[in-house]
Amino acid sequence: STWISSSGKYINQFEENFSAFCQVNYGVAVSNGTVALHLALVALGICDGDEVIVPDLTFAATANTVIHAGATPVIVDIEKDSWCIDPVEIEKALSPKTKAIIPVHLYGQPCDMDSIMQIAKKYNLFVIEDCAEAHGAEYNGQKVGSFGDISCFSFYGNKIITTGEGGMCITRSKILYE
């Protein structure tokens, strides 16, 4: 029936509807949020010798997937009030090996995406939004997940939207989608 499987009309509908809800063009459903993060890193070509900036307050998968891709997580501090990654600390931690930033929208609280995107643009870095706990959250009227190159969601049983398990990568880029 393809009702529960890795392909079929229900998966396609879910990918299309969820990515549209997040204000982007494309979605790829995966088995969980950890896989979504790893897929994003691999799709962006993050590998041995690269560094990826991650916050010090997050689920272990954020840093573990960077390690699994062969790169090095560079852990930076969070903002006192939002508990999200501190853009000032991101800029301090940059090196010639830095290839990406993974801001984590923790507990539904959006990161300072204006500052993060300015840093990414200035230094030509990828942004992978970890939105595992922020389905539907907005930053300045724009859905989280619609800022970065690829954004990752989890649909585990304790998330805002659940499929029991599962995850998704969303993107505006047809090339990254493919």
Q: Please give the positions annotated as active site.
A: 159
Per DSSP bridges, beta strands 126-130 and 98-101 are parallel
Full DSSP string of the chain: --SSSSSSHHHHHHHHHHHHHTT-SEEEEESBHHHHHHHHHHHTT--TT-EEEEESSS-THHHHHHHHTT-EEEEE-B-TTT-SB-HHHHHHH--TTEEEE--B-GGG----HHHHHHHHHHHT-EEEEE-TT-TT-EETTEETTSSSSEEEEE-BTTSSS--BSBEEEEES-HHHH-
Residue 54 in contact with residue 63, Cβ under 8 Å? yes
Structure token digits, residue 147: 């800022």
